[in-house]
Structure 1
Amino acid sequence: MSTQVLQTPYCGLPPAPADLWARWNFDPILISVLVVCAAAYGWKATAARRQGQAIAAWRQASFYVGWAITALALISPLCPLSVSLFAARVGQHIILALIGAPLVVTGRPFTRVENVSNPATKPRGIAPLSAAALFAASIWFWHAPAPYAETFRSSFVYWSMHVSVYGAALWLWASLIDAPPAKAMHVVLAGLFSSIQMGFLGALITFAPRALYTPHLLTTVVWNLTPLQDQQLGGAIMWVPGCVLFFITSMLILWQEIIRSEIAPARANAVSR
């Protein structure tokens, strides 16, 4: 007689509503990684200050706020709630990719110390359209039903999902924030592409005629949702914030480029006179 071993998801078994706020994720490895990364950034900021090229205080604050938000998304009760609800897992991804990642990147953690005082300095090799394509690939892959279900069976796959989505988001936002003027239109196109793909995927999930995500077929009822309603909520969470935020970012960058293109000739004419 064979025995089937059921795998417990990384965030544990689905929580009951009454127990949710007691379900924090105090994984020592995760907490150690989060602390080490924050400490490494602090060391970099200190080194830059000693060299007379200090990272602006507002940028440091942005990094630490973004890193705190990233940590909360991973260790808070949102982790076990994402075992019960697809909407919670999507919300976790949105917090990581659209709130935590841009705030962290604004702190300039990937710029060499000798260049931190130059706001035009960008990490080498960043191509906005390539970054947007990688981010789209990670979002679409991990929200396909089969890979998504696999994250509930393997902690390695679970962290592969989070690392790839968050890493791709960091790369994308690094290519959008403080973009050099020469890449302005590439940045606008990357932002628009990200807006469209997030909106399209969210719409596909929202308007799917049946529940697609098997891990949640039996876990949503205690939250007064059917699996399809949970899926529709998750699709809307992906659709609206992702579509709107990337669109606004693109329009702001386009507006800055228009203003720059108008100011430059005016300054040239003033100098020639």
Structure 2
Amino acid sequence: MTRNRPVIFIWLAVTLLGWVTLEVIDSYLPDGAAALAATPWLVWQFTPIIIIPMVCVVVWYVRGRRRGGRVIDPRDAFFAAALLLLFLVLQSPIEGFSDQFLTVHQVEHMTLDMIAPMLLMLAAPQAALLRGMPGGLRHKLVPSIMGNRGFHRTFATISQPIPASLVFVGTSGFWMIPRIHDASLRVPLIHDLWHVTLFASGLIFFFRLLDPRSVPLGAPLLARILMCFVAEMNFILFGFYLSAKSVVLYDAYGRMAPFWHISALGDERFGGLTMWIDGSTMIALGALIALYRIASHEDRTAGRRIALVGAKPVRGSEFHVGKRRNNRNLAFGLVGFVGFMLIGTMIAAVVYDHMTNHQADAAAFSQMRARTLNGPSAHEVRLTSKSPQSDKP
């Protein structure tokens, strides 16, 4: 412990200096709706509690990769992309616009709970981060947390397919309740808790969905398809509701309306379409990646087994028969899932079109009825009085 004290003091000193520097920079940057309308490219946020952990994670990852002695891997690109996206949606002008428009907020939250977690699970940075951590954290703090029975049991429970799907969908739905949603936009602490829970639920969901291991270590294929189905239906149904409704649900937005001339109702409808289309697309992409990773892992495992036995694969053997059967079941499951999603989307689109046309027809019928009952309008009377009169009796 005595040998590690200078290193700990250096880390604390650098962290404190970085914290003060970021606070000073942030105090000189513009903020608010007026600044977003005038100079949106200057509305950056340098929040120490976000940037400092990100810098630490990057340093640990680079050190761990160097200690591992491995060359540059494609997974490094996934890790860098995830960190860059997190920085952009949390510190760039996107964060400022997300407090003004529900559509931008949906893009930010899809990055937090889907895109960034998916990239991190593809990068699999756990080993590199552990190797790059300071000795005190790696040998004392991490084992004490990971070895805790309560933590282990809790994670083992919520990372199962059904609980992970319910946590993922429930977290997103909870924060979309109008009162809670508006309160989180007005109270920064609640807003930060919203981001943390979204990111954590996304990590748990995609950890189980993208796990390349087969049963019993990984989830069964049917369970993964069910996870995608639950997530897809959440985005389709709620996105459809937001895009089809005719009342404003969230009162905390709309402060940018004088600058950008976007109504609150139109913003919420665009936000619903973003959740509906983009969210469903990301879940479908996650399903395809999961299928590819499972198939690749099975091929590698089978190749190692054949190499250990020292025999060449024989056409028509038990392995190939089972492989064909699994591929056939996988194809049927994938086709059924995609077909169900397409049918559901088409039905929702037809219902949406019917509702919008019905509203337009009802409005037109009301205008015609009012005109028939009340007679011609004053404008029509003036036009009639100015028209030349006929000489005929």
Give your verdict on TM over 0.5.
yes
- CA distance in 1 between partners of 2:316 and 2:61 (Å): 41
SS in 1 for 2:223: helix
- CA distance in 2 between partners of 1:112 and 1:132 (Å): 28
Q: CA deviation at 1:90?
A: 1.0
- Superposed, 1:170-181 pairs within 5 Å as 170-181=203-214
- Superposed, 1:106-255 pairs within 5 Å as 106-110=122-126, 125=156, 126-182=159-215, 183=219, 184-250=221-287, 253=290
2:118 to 99, 102, 124: 102
Give the corresponding residue for 2:54. 34
Give the corresponding residue for 2:378. none
Are the aligned partners of 1:198 and 1:239 in contact in 2 as well (CA < 8 Å)?
Answer: yes
Are the aligned partners of 1:16 and 1:222 in contact in 2 as well (CA < 8 Å)?
Answer: no
SS in 1 for 2:239: helix
The verdict on how the C-alpha distance between 1:228 and 1:180 changes in structure 2, with shifts beyond 3 A counting, is same
Give the corresponding residue for 2:80. 64
What's the % identity of the aligned pairs? 20
Are the aligned partners of 2:89 and 2:108 in contact in 1 as well (CA < 8 Å)?
Answer: yes
- CA distance in 1 between partners of 2:273 and 2:127 (Å): 35
Q: Which runs of 5 or more residues in structure 2 are unaligned? A: 1-29, 131-151, 303-314, 322-393
SS in 1 for 2:124: coil
Q: CA deviation at 1:270?
A: 6.8
Two-structure CA RMSD over aligned residues (Å):
3.1
Larger RCO, structure (CA 8 Å, separation 6 or more):
1
The verdict on how the C-alpha distance between 1:270 and 1:38 changes in structure 2, with shifts beyond 3 A counting, is closer
Residue type at the aligned position of 1:70: L
Measured against aligned partners, the alpha-carbon deviations of 1:123-178 in whole angstroms (never above 9, x if no partner) come to 97332222111111111011111111111222210110000001111111111113
Q: Which runs of 5 or more residues in structure 1 are unaligned? A: 1-10, 115-122
TM-score (ref. length: structure 2): 0.56
Are the aligned partners of 1:185 and 1:254 in contact in 2 as well (CA < 8 Å)?
Answer: no
The verdict on how the C-alpha distance between 1:133 and 1:110 changes in structure 2, with shifts beyond 3 A counting, is farther
Q: CA deviation at 1:202?
A: 1.2
SS in 2 for 1:231: helix
Query: Would you say 1:268 and 2:318 are equivalent positions?
Result: yes
- CA distance in 2 between partners of 1:41 and 1:234 (Å): 35
Residue type at the aligned position of 1:128: P
- CA distance in 2 between partners of 1:181 and 1:240 (Å): 30
Larger Rg: 2
The verdict on how the C-alpha distance between 1:69 and 1:113 changes in structure 2, with shifts beyond 3 A counting, is closer
Measured against aligned partners, the alpha-carbon deviations of 1:168-218 in whole angstroms (never above 9, x if no partner) come to 111111111133222222112111211111111111221222111111144
Are the aligned partners of 1:188 and 1:251 in contact in 2 as well (CA < 8 Å)?
Answer: no
Q: CA deviation at 1:247?
A: 2.8
- CA distance in 2 between partners of 1:113 and 1:80 (Å): 31
- Superposed, 1:17-56 pairs within 5 Å as 17-47=37-67, 49-50=68-69, 54=70
| Larger relative helix fraction | 2
Q: CA deviation at 1:228?
A: 0.2
- CA distance in 1 between partners of 2:161 and 2:263 (Å): 39
Q: CA deviation at 1:269?
A: 5.9
TM-score (ref. length: structure 1): 0.79
Query: Would you say 1:74 and 2:111 are equivalent positions?
Result: no
Measured against aligned partners, the alpha-carbon deviations of 1:231-272 in whole angstroms (never above 9, x if no partner) come to 0111111111111221343356458879979xx89442679x
- CA distance in 1 between partners of 2:295 and 2:44 (Å): 47
Are the aligned partners of 2:61 and 2:128 in contact in 1 as well (CA < 8 Å)?
Answer: no
Q: CA deviation at 1:92?
A: 0.7
Residue type at the aligned position of 2:239: G
Give the corresponding residue for 1:3. none
